A and B are shown apart, each in its own frame.
Chain A
Amino acid sequence: MIDMRTNFVLAMSARSRTLAQWALPVGIIAAWEALSLAGVIPLRILPAPTAVVAAGWKLTMSGALPRNMWVSFWRAIVGFAIGGGIGFALGLANGLSRRSDLIFDSTLQMIRNIPHLALIPLVILWFGIDEGAKVFLVALGVFFPIYINTQHGIRTVDPQLVEMGRTYGMSPATLFWRVILPGALPSIFVGLRYALGIMWLTLIVAETISASSGIGYMAMQAREFLLVDVVVLSILIYALLGKVADSTARLLERWCLAWHPAFQPAGEVKT
Chain B
Amino acid sequence: MTVQVIRRIDDAVEFVPDAGEVGARGGGLSVTIRHLRKWFGQNQVLRGIDLHIRSGEFVAIVGRSGCGKSTLLRLLLGLERPSDGEFHFGDGGVAQAAHTGAVRIMFQEPRLLPWASVLANVEVGLGKERSSPDARERALATLREVGLVERRDHWPLVLSGGQKQRVALARALVSRPQLLAFDEPLGSLDALTRISMQRLIERVWIGQKFTAIMVTHDVAEAVTLADRVLMIEDGEIALDQRIDLPRPRERGSPEVAALEGRILRELFRNAGPVEDA
Contacts and interface: CB of A to CB of B under 8 A. Distances in A.
State whether these chains interact.
Answer: yes
Interface of A: 160-161, 163-170, 178-179, 182-183, 185, 257-261, 264, 268-270
B113 interface: yes
Nearest to B99: A169
A261 B158 CA distance: 9
A271 B181 CA distance: 26
B113 A179 contact: yes
A268 B158 contact: yes
B105 A167 contact: yes
Contacts of A166: 79
A81 B126 CA distance: 38
A160 B99 contact: no
A168 B157 contact: no
Nearest to A183: B115
Contacts of B114: 259-260
B160 interface: yes
Given A160-B109, A163-B79, A178 B155 contact: no
Contacts of A270: 157-161
B117 to A, nearest CB: 9
B98 A167 contact: yes
B159 A168 contact: no
Interface of B: 77-79, 98-101, 104-105, 107, 109, 111, 113-116, 124-125, 127-128, 155, 157-161, 171
Contact of A269 (B101, B157, B161): B157
- Quick one: which of A178, A261, A269 has the most chain B CB within 10 A? A178
B273 to A, nearest CB: 34
B208 to A, nearest CB: 18
A164 B78 CA distance: 12
Given A160-B111, A270-B157, A270-B160, A178 B124 contact: yes
B109 A169 contact: no
A164 B107 contact: yes
Most chain A CB atoms below 10 A, which of B79, B105, B109, B114: B114
Given A169-B99, A169-B100, A178-B113, A259 B107 contact: no
B159 A182 contact: no
A222 B258 CA distance: 94
Contacts of A182: 113, 115
Listed from nearest, the 4 A-B pairs whose CB atoms lie closest are A169-B127, A169-B99, A182-B115, A164-B111
A260 B113 CA distance: 11
Contacts of B115: 182-183, 185, 257, 259-260
Please indicate which of the listed interface residues B100, B127, B161 has the most CB atoms of chain A within 10 Å of its own CB: B127
A269 B111 CA distance: 17
A168 B124 contact: yes
Contacts of B161: 270
Nearest to A167: B98
10 contacts: A163-B111, A167-B77, A167-B79, A167-B104, A168-B98, A168-B104, A168-B127, A169-B98, A169-B101, A257-B115
A157 to B, nearest CB: 11
A266 to B, nearest CB: 12
A259 B154 CA distance: 9
A259 B155 contact: yes
A182 B171 CA distance: 19
A111 to B, nearest CB: 33
Nearest to A271: B161
B107 A264 contact: no
Contacts of B98: 167-169
Contacts of B78: 167
A4 to B, nearest CB: 27
Contact of B157 (A170, A183, A261): A261
Contacts of B111: 160-161, 163-164
A185 B171 CA distance: 24
B1 to A, nearest CB: 16
Contacts of A164: 107, 111, 124
A29 B160 CA distance: 50
A263 to B, nearest CB: 10
A166 B116 CA distance: 17
B29 to A, nearest CB: 16
Given A169-B100, A259-B116, A264-B157, 17 more contacts: A160-B109, A160-B111, A161-B113, A164-B111, A166-B79, A167-B78, A167-B105, A168-B98, A169-B99, A169-B127, A169-B128, A170-B127, A178-B116, A182-B115, A257-B115, A258-B155, A269-B158
A160 B157 CA distance: 17
Contacts of A165: 124
A76 B153 CA distance: 39
Nearest to B181: A167
A167 to B, nearest CB: 5
Contacts of A179: 113
